Amino acid sequence: MYFYIFKRLLLMIPTLLGAAALVFVLMRLIPGDICVMRLATGGGSINPEVLKSCRLELGMDRPVLVQFLLFLKGLATFDLGKSMWTGRPIVDEIGLRFQLSLQVAIMATITAIMIAIPLGIISAVKQNTWIDYVVRAFSIAGVAMPSFWLGILIILGILITSKAWFGSPWMPPIKYVPIWVDPFYNLSMLIWPALATGYRYSAVATRMTRSAMLEVLREDYVRTARAKGVFQKLVIRRHALRNALLPVITNIGLEIPFLFTGAIVTETIFSWPGIGKLTIDATREFDYPILMGVLLVTSVLVVFANLLADVAYGIVDPRIKY
């Protein structure tokens, strides 16, 4: 397994290079001049010296090939330049917000897994009963319900509840405190965007778990285990669940990177200063270097999520050999 992981890590290099080249080309295909769009927001005339300084700062006065090589050099040295909006290094801007979105993504993933796998198993075992119908309605509603709409409902619910209890609507102040400093305050702030993001995540995983379990429960080795008198719980846990988890792991691995991109609207709803809100602010301010950095971070997440899913296959199913 270790050699397999090492080989996959080496294959990440050309993959990320291809992603970097694609991001570079897409940013250059945007119509218009980035500096003109950035400086003309006030509607007045643009000082030619300021326009020239902006192009020099972004290296737009150089040939495209030279720009790409400098871009790759910056990636190798973790120097993506400075933000056109704040003037701070892009690595610092993204790194500060990445840890916020990462905790929300981890909490949403844990919440989704804790909800999806038990509900999927129960729905499959109790197929075509009222329990199965309730779980299926829960999962279908989660797939159909946009996360931003659920976020608005959560905020309204908190305000209505606080008004009923305290006489006036109240929301906790939006302020990030690390979990190791104040766990209660940290979790009380992040549980709501995590629930809004993780509900749809859990709905998709629930349907996947149910479908996989139904397929496995019809296999011959499950019938044989039951015929030998093995307890129902052992049949489900040892024989059915571990084989049914493989497609669920694939689904979870594919959804993890999209928790960051899907958080764009959710973080805006909750005014949470994560990667999603940074993307919205950078788009509004025409800060394309920040957008390039966010796209590259998303590419890295996709590659790592697929690697983690492949490694998890071997842990769940010992028959898989690398």
Residue the block writes with tokens 């010296």: 49
Give, for 122, the enclosing helix (H) or strand (E). Answer: helix 90-125
Q: Shortest CA distance to 292 belongs to which of 40, 32, 145, 74?
A: 74
Residue 271, token pair as written in the block: 């005014």
Judge whether 208 and 247 are in contact, CB under 8 Å: yes
Nearest Cα residue to 26 out of 273, 298, 267: 298
pLDDT digits (tens, 9 = 90+) for 142-170: 888 877 778 788 777 777 776 677 666 66
CA 175 – CA 124 distance, rounded (Å):
42
Question: What mean pLDDT is reported for the chain?
Answer: 77
Mean per-residue pLDDT, 304-310: 80
* pLDDT tens column, 114-132: 888 888 888 888 888 898 8
Token representation of residue 118: 């038990």
pLDDT tens for 9-23 read 788 888 888 888 888
Tell me the domains of the chain and their CATH numbers: 92-316 (1.10.3720.10)
Quote the pTM value.
0.73
What's the rounded mean pLDDT across residues 56-79?
76
CA distance 132 to 207: 11
pLDDT of residue 34: 67
Q: Is the dihedral of CA 84, 280, 255, 101 positive or negative?
A: positive
In the chain, the amino acid numbered 208 is: M
Output the pLDDT for position 168.
64
